[in-house]
Structure 1
Amino acid sequence: MKRTLFAALLAMTALPAHALDLSAMTEAEKAAFGQAVKDYLMENPQVLVEAINKLEERQAAAEAQNDKQLVATNAKEIFEDGHSWVGGNPEGDVTIVEFMDYRCSYCKKAYSEVDQLLKKDGKIRFVVKEFPILGPQSELAARFAVAVQQVAGDAAYAQIHDDLMTFRGDFTLESLKRLAESRKLDSDALFKRMNEEEVSNVLRANYKLAERMNISGTPAFVIGGDMLRGYAPLPQMQKIVADQRG
Structure 2
Amino acid sequence: MLRIAASALLGLTLLSSPASALDLDAMSDGEKAAFGAQVREYLLENPEVILEAINILEERQATAEAAADLELVAANADELFNDGYSWVGGNPDGDITLVEFMDYRCGYCRKAVPEVAKLLKEDGNIRLIIKEFPILGEASVLSSRFAVATKRVAGDDAYKQVHDALLEFGGDVTEVTLRRISDGLGLDTDAIVAEMDSDEVTRQIAETRALAQRLNISGTPTFVLETEMLRGYLPADQLQLIADSVREEKS
TM-score interval (norm. to shorter): over 0.9
Residue aligning to 2:128: 126
Query: How high is the TM-score relative to the length of structure 2?
Result: 0.91
Q: TM-score, normalised by structure 1?
A: 0.93
Q: Aligned residue for 2:57?
A: 55
Paired residue for 2:230?
228
In the superposition, relative to structure 1, how do residues 245 and 38 fare at CA in structure 2: closer, same or farther (>3 Å)?
A: same
The one of 37, 40, 57 equivalent to 2:39 is 37
Matches within 5 A, 1:85-164: 85-164=87-166
- The CA distance in 1 between the partners of 2:135 and 2:13, in whole Å, is 44
Give SS of 2:120's match. Answer: helix
Aligned residues: 243
The root-mean-square deviation of aligned C-alpha atoms, in Å, is: 2.0
Contact kept? 1:12, 1:47, Cα under 8 Å = no
Structure 2, unpaired ranges of 5+: 16-20
Q: Could you tell me how far 1:6 is from its partner in structure 2?
A: 5.0
Distance 1:44-1:4 versus aligned 2 partners, 3 A rule = closer
Q: How far does residue 240 in structure 1 lie from its aligned partner after superposition?
A: 1.2
Among candidates 180, 184, 207, match of residue 209 of structure 2? 207
Dislocated runs of 4+, deviation >3 Å: 1-15, 19-22
Alignment partner for residue 30 of structure 2, among 28, 31, 39?
28
Distance 2:200 2:46 in 1: 63
1:21 and 1:102, CA in 2 relative to 1: closer, same or farther beyond 3 A?
farther
Q: 2:14 & 2:132 partners in 1: Cα distance?
A: 46
Displacement of 1:159: 1.3
Structure 1 residue 151 displacement after superposition: 0.6
The structure having more radius of gyration, on CA atoms, is 2
Q: Is 2:14–2:22's contact at 8 Å kept on the other side of the alignment?
A: no
Counterpart-to-counterpart distance in 1, 2:14 and 2:247: 36
Query: For the residues of structure 2 that align with 1:232 and 1:33, how far apart are their CA atoms?
Result: 47
Structure 1, unmatched stretches of 5+, are: none
Q: Displacement of 1:53 after TM fit?
A: 0.8
Structure 2 distance, partners of 1:112, 1:74, is 28
Is 1:77 aligned to residue 92 of structure 2? no
Deviation per residue, 1:172-197 (Å, 9 max, x gap): 11111111112110110000000110
Residues of 1 paired with 2:33 and 2:152: CA distance?
70
Deviation sequence 1:95-116 (CA, Å, 0-9, x none) = 1101100000111111111111
Q: Aligned partners of 2:13, 2:194: CA distance in 1, in Å?
A: 65
Shift of 1:165: 1.2
User: Which of 166, 169, 178 is the equivalent residue of 1:167?
Assistant: 169
Match of 2:219 among 182, 201, 217: 217
1:178-228 per-position Cα deviation (integer Å, ceiling 9, x unaligned) = 111121101100000001101001001001001101111111111110101
Identity of matched residues, %: 57
| Match of residue 198 from structure 2 | 196
- Pair 33,14 (structure 1): closer, same or farther in 2 beyond 3 Å: closer
